């Protein structure tokens, strides 16, 4: 899927982009036609869950309920406005000093309230439980739910957040840079033969977890010039038989980033895996960049680049 | 021969004085638990401030010395949770007493004839349906009259499972309590298997399903409380009046019938009321374990087996226990309240077994 | 001890069984006829001893008499009405039954257990009326269990517990007492005392008693009307002297009884 080109007309294109969202709801136009960088509050936005969220004023106290959201805010230069993050946030370094409101993936409502936010950035698809979103909304807080399912949607999220926190210029610049880098990747791998690529998320108790069919991860592999082998879209698992039948030419070990025991040698030694082409040809690669490949935030392009280098090493360097 | 004054005073159950003392004491413990549980949480709201906030809400002229978010935390986040804990604990404590008497089994709990299994099925269906059949995705937080779909289906499931168990148990002729117990176990196992299947297929809803099964007081808002409260209060109140029947049932079916208990309607009424209360509790908070098992025994140890006092005090004690257990769960952080009750309840259960093994049997 | 065993003047029967039959029919098991045409009438003030070997149907007879089991054939009438027409509570106000193997729950005290006997008459919601209190005291006195008040029932000896259970039955203030082996666990002194109490109650209050007794000697001592049951049939029904004949007892109980006590002076009369 070729990347769209976005240049300096950020506000206009933002309106277009949001209008083309599957949810279809429209953005109430701020005073965008005059000074492009001034947002007018109160502002009503539509988030990834199709909810209309109204912001009364420029948010000064932002709570993020997912690491990707935190990275977006910081990438837009608003790190100092964060008053609550998750205990899983690790980038950039300064977020370590911000108090945690999500502990072991459980949102502590009291701590959120105590942080007195005027904007909460939640994650969709039950990563932030819908009950929590409802409770926070009922308590009167503006909650913006972000759930990008593709690279384009990550860019849209960055611009949505930029719109929300009056950082549209920064958002435009960031997405422009990301677009350039994406285009560079797709140009670099254009025309190359696409190897059947299996991305191992984890192997646990005999169950193999990988990218689900039509998932974000699968689309990244596709963009990076590989033919993704995918698993069940609900459970993200694939039976060993099916994997053997698909016979990947390249295996990327995402779990090696967290588990040093996952090595190409260990994989080759697994029962039945020896028959796979990738194993026989020695094309089993450790992907230490898994954290950025699987976090749908500003560094996702780093992930894309890592994937492309692993899939088509001959096109880089 | 005239009976002595001493004999006269021992008859008629606990004197009004003792009853007042015991029930009053239990009420005080409950109220204290509620106040402490509302006052403590992840965010520090000092006791003087908490009292001030409550006073202010009641209309007393108190100068505001607290953060503006403190009243919200107390009244919108903690209070509904604490009230839910009291309601659920009261329901489970009372229902536990009733099932232990009905089944003449000290190991019985309110879930034993199928309520937990049925309610779990209902709730898990509600949670996983949008994942399994995307067309059913109704969006975050869809509710009828402010009540979530999971709660409604859980309530219906609890009642439905027990109805099924009663029908099946009756097929064998006269339904006696052992048959009921075994049928309840069989149906629960079957339903649990279906729930397990749904669990595995739940995809992104897995965390929600597991959270519900472990039990949590966090999902109860004021609308849910408004619906559950009359069910729990009403059901428990009606059960309180049946203390005599419960006492008599302990003597065995024959003796109870000989003393005037019409067994079939009496047992049916008790099962229905106790199941109503239990289903409402489970719908509100999921399947929180051990409260219904442990509280009746603790209260019996403290004040004796006469249901006249055992039932009301178990309700109050169950309420206090769950409120405090939830407070501990919140302070430790991220721990489901069912884990705390299990940590208290399982050792106690083992001690009960140990004690029963060593006790002399009655002829 | 008085020899009164004929019916009292106002003698419409309290309990009347006519040709009552009852059996257990279970799928896959042979039918068991337990009662085969039993007829029995009990009038106020009567003391009836029910004797018979194990399995003769005594316990089943009691259950059918109070309506716990439905008679398959024949009729059971209480105060002239079919027993099934009364509510359980109404039956319990008139008949008290002391089962052979009662269940005694843990933790209750003597006076609490005896008070449970007041259940059929209880009117107040949560407390007990003065009436109830007096009835319990009277029952405790009659059953010779006053000294046991305050103690836990599960900590009593067999005999003590039996007295408490009798007290519970008496607290019910029935007009007919059905006692299934009331003398079990009791020492001789207490057995005699119990029979004396029953005799006194039937004389002073018109209480009718049907008691399953196992000891022919004791039975003779009380000199009641004796009903001998064997294999679900009444084989004898009359004054003790007539029924307690060695030959008859030997045949019914399948033993040899060398002597039997007579009513006059106790000189043994051999077979």
Candidate from A23-37, A283-297, B297-311 with smallest mean pLDDT: A23-37
**Strand, coil or helix: B169:** helix
**Interface membership of B174 toward C (CB under 8 Å):** no
Ramachandran assignment for A191, one of left (phi > 0), alpha (psi -120 to 50 degrees), beta (any other): left
Candidate from A200-209, A299-308, B18-27 with smallest mean pLDDT: A200-209
Place of tokens 């401030």: B49
CA distance B21 to B313: 11
Task: Give which of C60, C97, C104, C105 to mutate to test B binding, by max B Cβ within 10 Å.
Answer: C105
CB contact under 8 A, A111 and B204: no
CB contact under 8 A, C92 and B300: no
Task: Look at residue B172 in the predicted model and tell me its pLDDT.
Answer: 59
Task: Look at residue B95 in the predicted model and tell me its pLDDT.
Answer: 97
Range of the domain at B337: 79-349
CB contact under 8 A, B259 and C154: no
Domain ranges of chain A: 10-179, 193-315
**Strand, coil or helix: B224:** helix
In this prediction, residues A195-201 reach a mean pLDDT of: 95
- Give A267 or A18, the one with higher predicted confidence: A267
Task: Look at residue C271 in the predicted model and tell me its pLDDT.
Answer: 35
Neighbour tally for A258: CB within 10 Å: 11
Sign of the CA dihedral running C210, C216, C220, C222: negative
pTM for this predicted structure = 0.82
CATH of the domain at B267: 1.10.3470.10
Task: Look at residue B9 in the predicted model and tell me its pLDDT.
Answer: 59
CA distance C37 to C23: 11
Q: What is the pLDDT of residues A1-45, one digit of tens each?
A: 333 443 433 444 444 433 333 333 333 344 444 445 566 889 999
Domains A10-179 and A193-315 share a fold: yes
CB contact under 8 A, B6 and C146: no
Predicted ipTM of the assembly: 0.85
Composition of chain C by helix, strand, coil, percent to 5: 35, 25, 40
Is chain C in touch with chain A: ≥3 Cβ pairs within 8 A? no
CA distance C118 to C134: 11
B332 touches B41 (CB < 8 A) = no
Question: Domain for residue B103, yes or no?
Answer: yes
CB contact under 8 A, A129 and B69: no
Task: Look at residue A200 in the predicted model and tell me its pLDDT.
Answer: 95
CB contact under 8 A, B300 and C120: no
pLDDT band, very low/low/confident/very high, at B301 (cuts 50, 70, 90): confident
Q: Taking Cα atoms as reference points, which of A92, A93, A118, A115 lies closest to residue A102?
A: A115
In this prediction, residues B267-277 reach a mean pLDDT of: 94
Among B73, B141, B208, the residue with its CB nearest the CB of A110 is B73
CA distance A155 to A176: 9
Quote the tokens at residue B288. Answer: 């929180």
| pLDDT for residue A111 is more than 90 | yes
Q: How many helices (H) and strands (E) does chain B have?
A: 16, 2
Task: Look at residue A174 in the predicted model and tell me its pLDDT.
Answer: 96
Task: Tell me how many domains chain B contains.
Answer: 1
Q: Average pLDDT, whole number, for chain B?
A: 85
CA angle, residues B327, B43, B92, in degrees to nearest 5: 20
In this prediction, residues B137-161 reach a mean pLDDT of: 72
CB contact under 8 A, C68 and B258: yes
| pLDDT for residue B289 is more than 90 | no
Quote the tokens at residue A210. Answer: 């990988």
Neighbour tally for C125: CB within 10 Å: 10
Task: Give which of B130, B140, B203 to mutate to test A binding, by max A Cβ within 10 Å.
Answer: B140
In this prediction, residues B173-190 reach a mean pLDDT of: 82
Q: Average pLDDT, whole number, for chain A?
A: 86
Is chain C in touch with chain B: ≥3 Cβ pairs within 8 A? yes
Task: Look at residue B15 in the predicted model and tell me its pLDDT.
Answer: 72
B31 touches C152 (CB < 8 A) = no
Start-to-end CA distance of chain A, whole Å, equals 24
Question: Domain for residue B73, yes or no?
Answer: no
C14 touches C65 (CB < 8 A) = no
Q: Which of residues 88-107 of A touch B (CB under 8 A)?
A: 103-106
Pairing of strands A207-209, A202-204: antiparallel
Fold classification of C15-253 is: Rossmann fold (3.40.50)
CA distance B40 to A110: 11
**Strand, coil or helix: C28:** coil
Candidate from A143-157, B202-216, B268-282 with smallest mean pLDDT: B202-216
Pairing of strands A106-107, A119-123: unpaired
Which residue is closest to A113 within chain B, CA to CA?
B69
Q: What is the pLDDT of residues B82-122, one digit of tens each?
A: 999 999 999 999 999 999 999 988 889 999 999 999 999 99
Q: In what order do the strands lie in the sheet with A237-238?
A: A202-204, A207-209, A237-238
Place of tokens 């140990």: B354
Start-to-end CA distance of chain C, whole Å, equals 26
**Chains touching B, CB cut-off 8 Å, 3+ pairs:** A, C
CB contact under 8 A, B73 and A105: no
C269 touches C260 (CB < 8 A) = yes
Question: Domain for residue B86, yes or no?
Answer: yes
**Interface membership of B207 toward A (CB under 8 Å):** yes
Question: Domain for residue B183, yes or no?
Answer: yes
Query: Can you give the pLDDT of all 271 residues of chain C as single tens digits?
Result: 333 344 444 568 889 999 999 988 877 777 888 898 899 999 998 899 998 888 888 889 999 999 999 998 999 999 999 999 999 999 999 999 998 888 888 889 999 999 999 999 988 777 778 888 899 999 999 998 999 999 999 899 888 999 999 999 999 999 999 998 888 888 888 888 888 888 888 888 889 999 998 777 777 777 788 898 888 889 889 888 888 887 888 788 777 655 544 433 344 444 3
In this prediction, residues B209-220 reach a mean pLDDT of: 84
In this prediction, residues B189-217 reach a mean pLDDT of: 86
pLDDT band, very low/low/confident/very high, at B6 (cuts 50, 70, 90): low
**Interface membership of B217 toward A (CB under 8 Å):** no
DSSP character at residue C84:
G
- Give A296 or B206, the one with higher predicted confidence: A296
Domain ranges of chain C: 15-253
CB contact under 8 A, B11 and C104: no
Q: Which CATH architecture has domain A10-179?
A: 3-Layer(aba) Sandwich (3.40)
DSSP element (H, E) containing A203: strand A202-204
| Residues on chain C touching B8 (C-beta within 8 angstroms) | 133, 137
DSSP character at residue B67:
-
CB contact under 8 A, C137 and B8: yes
C228 touches C238 (CB < 8 A) = no
**Interface membership of B81 toward A (CB under 8 Å):** no
Question: Domain for residue B14, yes or no?
Answer: no
Task: Look at residue C4 in the predicted model and tell me its pLDDT.
Answer: 38
Which residue is closest to B356 within chain C, CA to CA?
C106
- From the number of C-beta atoms within 10 Å of its C-beta (0-12, 13-18, 19+), residue C43 rates as buried
Neighbour tally for C6: CB within 10 Å: 11
Task: Look at residue B149 in the predicted model and tell me its pLDDT.
Answer: 81
| pLDDT for residue B360 is more than 50 | no
CA distance C50 to C48: 6
DSSP character at residue B60:
-
- CATH superfamily, domain at A193-315: Nitrogenase molybdenum iron protein domain (3.40.50.1980)
């Amino acid at each position: 899927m070729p990347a769209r080109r976005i240049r300096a007309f950020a506000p206009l294109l933002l309106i277009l982009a949001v209008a083309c969202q599957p949810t279809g709801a429209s953005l109430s136009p701020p005073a965008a036609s005059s000074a492009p960088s001034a947002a007018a509050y109160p502002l009503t936005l539509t988030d990834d869950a199709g909810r209309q969220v109204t912001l009364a004023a420029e948010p000064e106290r932002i709570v993020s309920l997912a690491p990707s959201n935190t990275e977006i805010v910081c990438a837009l230069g608003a790190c100092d406005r964060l008053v609550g993050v998750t205990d899983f946030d690790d980038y950039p370094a300064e977020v370590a000093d911000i108090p945690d409101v999500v502990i072991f993936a459980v949102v502590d409502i009291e701590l959120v309230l105590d942080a007195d936010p005027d904007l909460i950035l939640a994650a969709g698809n039950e990563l932030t439980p819908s009950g929590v979103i409802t409770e926070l909304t009922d308590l009167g807080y503006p909650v913006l739910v972000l759930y990008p399912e593709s690279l384009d949607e990550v860019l849209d999220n960055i611009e949505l957040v930029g719109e929300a926190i009056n950082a549209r210029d920064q958002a435009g610049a960031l997405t422009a840079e990301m677009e350039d880098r994406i285009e560079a990747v797709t140009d670099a791998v254009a025309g190359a033969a696409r190897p059947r690529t299996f991305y191992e998320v984890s192997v646990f108790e005999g169950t193999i977890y990988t990218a689900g069919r039509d998932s974000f991860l699968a689309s990244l592999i596709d963009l990076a010039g590989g033919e993704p082998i995918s698993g069940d879209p609900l459970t993200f698992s694939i039976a060993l038989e099916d994997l053997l039948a698909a016979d990947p030419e390249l295996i990327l070990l995402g779990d090696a980033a967290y588990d040093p025991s996952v090595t190409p040698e260990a994989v080759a030694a697994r029962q039945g895996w020896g028959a796979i082409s990738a194993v026989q040809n020695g094309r089993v690669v450790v992907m230490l960049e898994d954290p950025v490949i699987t976090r749908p935030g500003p560094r996702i392009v780093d992930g894309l680049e890592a994937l492309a280098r692993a899939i088509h090493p001959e096109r880089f360097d | 021969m005239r009976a002595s004054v001493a004999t006269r005073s021992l008859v008629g159950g606990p004197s009004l004085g003792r009853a007042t003392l015991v029930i009053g004491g239990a009420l005080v413990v409950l109220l204290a638990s509620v106040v402490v549980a509302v006052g403590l949480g992840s965010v520090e709201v000092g006791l003087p401030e908490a009292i001030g906030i409550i006073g202010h809400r009641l209309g007393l002229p108190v100068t505001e010395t607290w953060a503006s978010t403190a009243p919200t935390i107390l009244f919108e986040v903690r209070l509904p949770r604490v009230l839910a804990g009291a309601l659920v604990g009261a329901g489970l404590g009372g229902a536990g007493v009733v099932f232990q008497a009905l089944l003449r089994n000290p190991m019985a709990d309110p879930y034993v004839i199928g309520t937990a299994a049925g309610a779990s099925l209902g709730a898990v269906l509600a949670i996983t349906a949008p994942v399994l059949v995307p067309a059913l995705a109704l969006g975050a937080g869809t509710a009828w009259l402010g009540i979530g779909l999971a709660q409604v289906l859980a309530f219906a499931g609890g009642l439905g499972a027990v109805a099924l168990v009663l029908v099946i148990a009756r097929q064998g002729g006269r339904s006696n309590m052992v048959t009921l117990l075994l049928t309840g176990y069989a149906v629960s196992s079957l339903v649990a298997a279906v729930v397990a299947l749904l669990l595995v297929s739940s995809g992104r809803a897995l965390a929600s399903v597991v959270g519900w099964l472990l039990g949590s007081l966090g999902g109860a808002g004021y609308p849910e409380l408004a619906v559950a409260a009359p069910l729990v209060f009403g059901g428990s109140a009606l059960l309180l009046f049946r203390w005599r029947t419960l006492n008599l049932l302990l003597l065995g079916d024959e003796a109870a019938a000989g003393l005037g208990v019409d067994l079939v309607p009496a047992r049916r009424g008790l099962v229905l009321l106790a199941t109503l209360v239990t289903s409402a509790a489970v719908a509100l908070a999921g399947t929180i374990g051990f409260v219904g098992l442990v509280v009746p025994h603790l209260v019996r140890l403290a004040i004796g087996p006469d249901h006249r006092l055992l039932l009301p005090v178990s309700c109050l004690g169950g309420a206090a226990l769950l409120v405090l257990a939830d407070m501990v769960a919140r302070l430790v952080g991220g721990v489901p309240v069912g884990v705390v009750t299990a940590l208290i309840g399982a050792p106690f259960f083992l001690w009960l077994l140990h004690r029963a093994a060593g006790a002399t049997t009655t002829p | 001890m008085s020899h009164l065993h004929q019916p009292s003047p106002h003698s419409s029967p309290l309990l009347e069984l006519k040709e009552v039959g009852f059996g257990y029919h279970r799928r896959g098991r042979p039918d068991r006829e337990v009662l085969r045409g039993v007829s029995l009438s009990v009038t106020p003030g009567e003391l009836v001893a029910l004797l018979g070997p194990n399995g003769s149907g005594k316990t089943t007879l009691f259950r059918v008499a109070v309506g716990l089991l439905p008679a398959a054939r024949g009729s059971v009438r209480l105060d002239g009405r079919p027993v099934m027409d009364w509510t359980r509570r109404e039956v319990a106000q008139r008949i008290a039954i002391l089962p052979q193997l009662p269940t005694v729950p843990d933790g209750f005290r003597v006076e609490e257990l005896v008070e449970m006997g007041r259940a059929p008459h209880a009117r107040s919601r949560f407390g007990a009326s003065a009436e109830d209190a007096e009835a319990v005291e009277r029952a405790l006195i009659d059953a010779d269990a006053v000294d046991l008040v305050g103690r836990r029932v599960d900590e009593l000896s067999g005999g003590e517990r039996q007295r408490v259970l009798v007290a519970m039955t008496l607290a019910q203030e029935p007009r007919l007492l059905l006692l299934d082996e009331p003398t079990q666990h009791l020492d001789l002194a207490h057995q005699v005392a119990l029979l004396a109490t029953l005799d006194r109650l039937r004389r002073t209050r018109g209480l009718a008693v049907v008691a399953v007794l196992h000891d022919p000697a004791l039975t003779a001592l009380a000199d009641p009307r004796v009903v001998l049951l064997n294999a679900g049939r009444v084989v004898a029904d009359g004054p003790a002297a007539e029924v307690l004949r060695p030959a008859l007892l030997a045949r019914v109980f399948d033993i040899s009884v060398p002597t039997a006590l007579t009513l006059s002076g106790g000189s043994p009369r051999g077979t």
